[in-house]
Amino acid sequence: MILRQTVPTTADPIADFAVDVREGLLRTGQKELPSKYLYDEVGSALFEVISALPEYGLTRADERLLRENAVEIVARVKSPVVVAELGSGSGKKTRYLLEALDRRQQTRYCPIEISHSALTMCARELGDIEHISIVGFESEYLDGLLEVADNRRPGEHLLVLFLGSTIGNFDRPADVKFLRAVRRILQPGDFLLLGTDLVKPTPPMLDAYDDCLGVTAAFNLNLLARINRDLGGNFALAQFKHEARYNPETRSIEMHMRSERFQNVTIPRAGLTVTFREGETIWTECSHKYSRPELLHLAMSASFRCKQQWVDDEWPFAETLLIAQ
């Protein structure tokens, strides 16, 4: 893999982390931490385990759809094509698409990841596909996509992958705003393949974010451990409990960490001492669930048209191929 780094907003990612932690924990009302910080080396490894858990049906549904329909999906996309994947993680499921493309042409695959370890896993996972060359971008989604688009060769189409229902981590209407920003980077005729979890009965949705082994709880609590490691914080992890809630109004699962008692936490590198009331929570992630009409509306609002949609019967999940208008 060739590894590219886009110009970071500041030269010091720890300083950015400190600023975001300070802002999120000083917020009046609900304390929050951005979900992107869940993915350091430990977090990315834990996410891989979550993907293998029986409760986390999303990954298997996404994988089934890609396995069963890769040839058809790839047939809808014009050649030559460069593939960019937003938040690839280990890229395991992407193999089906790349192998289908591999039979057709030499292709560049560009995973875009903030997690260095996820990018390394991805290169290891997909590095053996003969006609696929990997150019990884260690960056935020849009910075990486801009680089890929700027470096496209004449006549090349872009196929952007956004799998695993990661779009659900944006608040509504931040999801539309994000898709519009993606669309502005693309040219008419480029493609976006969007994997999204669909609304289903509450118990399986909740279990997916609160498994009986406690892996998702560890994934969530690792964010406090990361603050301790990187910013010198003194969070007592045993004094916070993972909590998954379904919010029917926004149709989203929210992950929180609940303080078990009144406590003060000091985070020297963020210049912060923060007080938690007993029962107060830090909100770390939302995972919105979509309906099929809502997805079509979302696509249209961002100037995409739906080419085709595939839905898994076992675990309601949609793979939607969109074309930029």
What b/e sequence results for 231-266 when a residue is b if at least 16 CB atoms lie within 10 Å of its CB, and e otherwise? bebebeeebbebbbebeeeebbbbbbbebeeebebe
- Number of C-beta neighbours around residue 207 at 10 A: 17
Piece in contact with ligand SAM (CB under 6 A), picked from 36-44, 126-134, 180-188, 214-222: 36-44
Q: Contacts with ligand SAM: how many residues (CB under 6 A)?
A: 19
Please state, in angstroms and rounded to a whole number, the distance separating the CA atoms of residues 109 and 233: 38
Nearer to ligand SAM, 143 or 280 (CB): 143
Q: Which candidate, 130, 131, 150, 128, places its Cα nearest to that of 139?
A: 150
Instruction: Give the DSSP letter of residue 290.
Output: B
Nearer to ligand SAM, 50 or 274 (CB): 50
Nearer to ligand SAM, 183 or 265 (CB): 183
Our finding on whether 36 is near ligand SAM (CB under 6 A) is yes
Please state, in angstroms and rounded to a whole number, the distance separating the CA atoms of residues 63 and 96: 9
Which string of x and - marks every residue 42-71 that binds ligand SAM (by CB under 6 A)? --x--x---x-------x------------
Instruction: Give the DSSP letter of residue 317.
Output: E
Our finding on whether 114 is near ligand SAM (CB under 6 A) is yes
**Among residues 18, 31, 32, 87, the one that binds ligand SAM under rule CB under 6 A:** 87
Token pair listed for 109: 């695959």
Q: Under a CB-based contact definition with an 8 Å cutoff, are residues 221 and 237 in contact? A: yes
Please state, in angstroms and rounded to a whole number, the distance separating the CA atoms of residues 94 and 190: 18
Q: Under a CB-based contact definition with an 8 Å cutoff, are residues 272 and 281 in contact? A: no
Rounded to a whole number of angstroms, the minimum distance from the CB of residue 312 to ligand SAM is 14
Our finding on whether 141 is near ligand SAM (CB under 6 A) is yes
DSSP-derived 3-state class of residue 308: strand
Nearer to ligand SAM, 145 or 270 (CB): 145
Nearer to ligand SAM, 17 or 141 (CB): 141
Nearer to ligand SAM, 88 or 220 (CB): 88
Residue 173: exposure state from Cβ atoms within 10 A (0-12, 13-18, ≥19): exposed
Our finding on whether 24 is near ligand SAM (CB under 6 A) is no
Piece in contact with ligand SAM (CB under 6 A), picked from 160-168, 209-217, 244-252, 273-281: 160-168
Nearer to ligand SAM, 140 or 211 (CB): 140
**Among residues 17, 31, 56, 88, the one that binds ligand SAM under rule CB under 6 A:** 88
**Closest residue to ligand SAM, based on beta-carbon distance:** 164
Rounded to a whole number of angstroms, the minimum distance from the CB of residue 264 to ligand SAM is 30
Please state, in angstroms and rounded to a whole number, the distance separating the CA atoms of residues 168 and 165: 6
Nearer to ligand SAM, 90 or 281 (CB): 90
The rounded Cα 273 to chain-centroid distance in angstroms is: 30
Piece in contact with ligand SAM (CB under 6 A), picked from 98-106, 158-166, 209-217, 231-239: 158-166
Restricted to residues 245-264, the positions that interact with ligand SAM (CB under 6 A) are none
Nearer to ligand SAM, 6 or 239 (CB): 6
Please state, in angstroms and rounded to a whole number, the distance separating the CA atoms of residues 312 and 318: 7
E-strand ranges in 172-269 read 191-197, 240-247, 252-259, 263-267
Q: Under a CB-based contact definition with an 8 Å cutoff, are residues 111 and 119 in contact? A: yes
Our finding on whether 115 is near ligand SAM (CB under 6 A) is yes
Instruction: Give the DSSP letter of residue 198.
Output: B
Rounded to a whole number of angstroms, the minimum distance from the CB of residue 112 to ligand SAM is 6
Give the binding site for ligand SAM (CB under 6 A).
Answer: 36, 39, 44, 47, 51, 59, 87-89, 112-115, 118, 140-141, 163-164, 166
